[in-house]
Amino acid sequence: MKIGIVNDMRMSVEALRRVVVTVPDYEVVWVAQNGVEAVAMCAANRPDLILMDLVMPVMDGVEATRRIMEKTPCAILVVSATVEGNISKVFDAMGCGALDAVCTPVLGKEGMMTGGEGLLAKIRTIGKLMAKPKARTTRIDTPRPSVRTRGKSLVALGASTGGPQAVAEILGKLPADFRPAIVIIQHVDVMFAPGLVDWLNHQSKIKVRLARNGDVPEPNSAWLACSNDHLIITADLSFQYTPIPTEYPYRPSVDVFFESAARYWPGTQVAALLTGMGRDGSRGLLSLRQRGWHTIAQDEKSCIVYGMPKAAVALNAASEVLHIKSIAERLTQLCTPAT
């Protein structure tokens, strides 16, 4: 894997380089000290992955991510010593196309390194996402529930690369009295889930909260998957987290949640698959459509990465394909009771 490093701190660059070269197949192909250099270097020699700092002179990591994804797109991982102190920048960068975020490893006294394994774990996961998808071998097999209806409406949203901004766009346009419960499956590490909830709440009229084991999705509220395990709906219509399937690089998986909703949630509901790298959510969206749900895929023009929705369209899993600016209005139309 060819890797570019964007960081203006010499010690941070050295720490990143030392971690990367511990893996024989990883190679640092260039180092940029600011976003302007990164955009130029990526155009001249596009790597497989960029390790992007957030706070830099001349051009920060958010703007650099936006420009790279617009002109010479590639996988970007935010790696910054200031992740926790700049949580809004993290989600701005993810909204522009960064896949994930992790704290910069620290090179301490006598060459001791801390945080290196966390970085390598993220890189390995991104490597799996970039690899050719394998046939799915695992599914959750659970019995059909007995007939049980609570008369509740559900809107399920799945997203990955560029997802925070897409989800914010939808939530920001939904009316405050939007009745269905909303469940959001966004590929984001558990340590950033609380920050994402806070970030979304600043842009939404509907209260967004973390989905916890045993919670029941209630009307007029939004719930975010907040674990590195997979969120599912159980037979009693409550949330539960499961590590199965263990081999999925997508965590939490949109497919796993969509399939559980198709299996258990009663009635005809609505799901939307938004921007993202890979194919996660496409088969789950098909399962929902086959169960009578109205299914939406975000269109190519408005996607940061047209991967997940494209896979869904290829499977004929989407009832319709819409621009991100039209999805909230369509959800409101679909979920407003006829008078």
Is residue 294 annotated as a catalytic residue, yes or no?
no
pLDDT of amino acid 82 = 66
pLDDT in tens, the chain (339 residues): 999 999 999 999 999 999 999 999 999 999 999 999 999 999 999 999 999 999 999 999 999 999 999 999 999 999 987 666 678 889 999 989 999 888 888 877 666 677 788 899 999 988 888 775 554 433 433 333 333 334 579 999 999 999 999 999 999 999 999 999 999 999 988 888 999 999 999 999 999 999 999 999 999 999 999 998 999 999 999 999 999 998 888 889 999 999 999 999 987 699 999 999 889 999 999 999 999 999 999 999 999 999 999 999 999 999 999 999 999 999 999 998 754
Rounded Cα distance between 162 and 316, Å, is: 23
CB 8 within 8 A of CB 19: no
| H or E element at residue 216 | none
- CATH superfamily for domain 2-130: Response regulator (3.40.50.2300)
Query: Spelled out in words, what is the top-level CATH class assigned to the domain 154-335?
Result: alpha beta
Domain boundaries, the chain: 2-130, 154-335
Beta strands in 170-280 (DSSP E): 181-186, 208-211, 221-225, 230-233, 239-242, 270-273
pLDDT of amino acid 250 = 83
pLDDT of amino acid 190 = 86
- Residue 182: phi and psi, rounded to 5, are -120, 130
Do the domains spanning 2-130 and 154-335 agree at the CATH topology level? yes
Of the candidates 80, 160, 204, 282, the residue annotated as catalytic is 160
- For residue 295 the two structure tokens come to 């299914």
Is residue 319 annotated as a catalytic residue, yes or no?
no
Of the candidates 153, 280, 294, 299, the residue annotated as catalytic is 280
pLDDT of amino acid 152 = 77
Is residue 160 annotated as a catalytic residue, yes or no?
yes
Of the candidates 187, 260, 282, 299, the residue annotated as catalytic is 187
pLDDT of amino acid 72 = 95
Sheet of strand 294-298: strand arrangement: 208-211, 221-225, 181-186, 154-159, 270-273, 294-298, 320-322
pLDDT of amino acid 247 = 84
